[in-house]
């Protein structure tokens, strides 16, 4: 089984942030905030270019499956995390719990969801539709979930200002890309490999900057190896809990195997791209951004590893 090069790149970015945090500091002459901001807008402009209005229209037919996937992504996932809220009694524990709520409120991935459903021979058109629409819904829903609890914390969280930034940095570029899809859509799909490389480069920059600021402010001083192991264990339990719950609901709704695969694969995925981008916008005044990114950064390789194994097993079945 191959090691994901992007995961290795993330580790390198964090190591660089530990040893060389100065370029991300306030006294640095490198405008990393400006570069990351422009990069975010370009990511979502290209995302809009690759969105096909025709595929979105035709994908609306299988509405039961779509509703289950989106409810799992934006309601069931956060509600499962919310169940543990009464057991949080320390400030450090509350910050880590907020990071898990952020993970639970994030939209689904785009490329890996479709790829894994394809390998498992699930309902590919439904996977494309849900992956495409999830990112757009997340622009509205993710800040709402975080706003319910962040406004009670020490982190500066102004929902109105956040939505203005989300509209200008994300929604408008997506709308512009969607409007230009008929002209440049084929170009974007043809060069999707290079666009993906650009996306990952921007994400690595945001991760480097976030962790540099967190290391400079000693944010991780309260988290030890035992805490990291607990967070990793919670990430794995959360994944399997949502995976089996989605499968159970799919059976209750009498989905065939193809639809059940799509529901489980799409409903359990969380987007590292959206996570890092949203974290920069939602927590831009917080030195704890690195902690808020920790669960999604651990969840990303876990979901890839487990779903890859399950997809390969499904893909070998006889039809």
Q: In whole angstroms, what is the distance from residue 112 CA to residue 128 CA?
A: 10
Q: What is the 3-state secondary structure (H, E, C) of the chain?
A: CCCCHHHHHHHHHHHHHHHCCHHHCCCCCCCHHHHHHHHHHHHHHHHHHHCCHHHHHHHCCCHHHHHHHHHHHHHHHHHHHHCCHHHCCCHHHHHHHHHHHHHHHCCCCCHHHHHHHHHCCCCHHHHHHHHHHHHHHHHHHHHHHHHHHHCCCCCCCCHHHHHHHHHHHHHHHHHHHHHCHHHHHHHHHHCHHHHHHHHHHHHHHHHHHHHHHHHHCCHHHHCCHHHHHHHHHHHHHHHHHHHHHHHHHHHHCCCCHHHHHHHHHHHHCCCHHHHHHHHHHHCCCCCCHHHHHHHHHHHHHHHHHHHHHHHHHHHCCCC
Q: What is the pLDDT of residue 34?
A: 85
CATH 3.40.50.720 applies to domain 5-12+31-312: no
Please report the pLDDT score of residue 82 as a whole number. 95
Tens place of pLDDT per residue across the chain (319 aa): 456 688 888 889 989 989 988 887 767 778 888 888 898 889 889 888 887 777 666 656 788 999 999 999 999 999 999 999 998 888 888 889 999 999 999 999 867 788 788 888 888 878 888 887 898 899 899 999 998 887 555 455 667 787 888 888 888 998 899 899 889 888 888 888 898 889 889 888 888 988 888 888 777 777 788 888 999 999 999 999 999 999 999 999 999 999 999 999 999 999 888 888 898 888 876 667 888 899 998 898 888 888 888 888 888 776 5
Give the model's pLDDT for residue 169. Answer: 85
Place of tokens 């997809």: 311
């Amino acid at each position: 089984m191959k090691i994901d090069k992007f995961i290795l790149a993330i580790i390198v970015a964090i190591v660089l942030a530990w040893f060389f945090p100065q370029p991300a500091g306030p006294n640095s002459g490198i405008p990393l905030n400006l570069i990351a901001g422009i990069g975010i807008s370009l990511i979502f402009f290209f995302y809009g270019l690759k969105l096909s209005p025709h595929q979105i229209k035709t994908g609306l037919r299988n509405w039961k499956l779509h509703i289950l996937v989106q409810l799992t992504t934006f309601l069931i996932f956060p509600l499962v995390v919310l169940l543990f809220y009464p057991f949080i009694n320390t400030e450090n524990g509350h910050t880590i719990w907020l990071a898990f709520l952020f993970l639970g409120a994030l939209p689904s991935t785009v490329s890996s969801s479709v790829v894994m459903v394809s390998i498992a021979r699930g309902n590919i058109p439904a996977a494309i539709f849900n992956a495409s629409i999830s990112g757009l819904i997340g622009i509205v829903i993710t800040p709402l979930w975080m706003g319910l609890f962040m406004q009670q914390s020490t982190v500066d969280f102004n929902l109105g200002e956040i939505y203005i930034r989300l509209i200008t940095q994300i929604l408008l570029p997506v709308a512009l890309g969607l409007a230009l899809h008929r002209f440049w859509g084929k170009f974007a799909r043809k060069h999707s490999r290079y666009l993906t490389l650009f996306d990952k480069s921007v994400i690595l920059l945001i991760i480097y900057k976030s962790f540099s600021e967190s290391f400079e402010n000693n944010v991780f001083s309260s988290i030890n190896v035992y805490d990291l192991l607990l967070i990793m264990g919670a990430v794995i339990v959360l994944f399997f809990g949502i995976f089996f719950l989605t499968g159970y609901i799919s059976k209750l709704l009498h989905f065939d195997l193809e639809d059940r695969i799509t529901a489980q694969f799409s409903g359990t995925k969380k987007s590292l791209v959206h996570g890092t981008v949203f974290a920069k916008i939602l927590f831009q005044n917080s030195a704890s951004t690195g902690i808020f990114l920790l669960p999604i950064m651990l969840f990303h390789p876990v979901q890839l590893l487990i779903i890859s194994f399950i997809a390969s097993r499904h893909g070998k079945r006889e039809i």
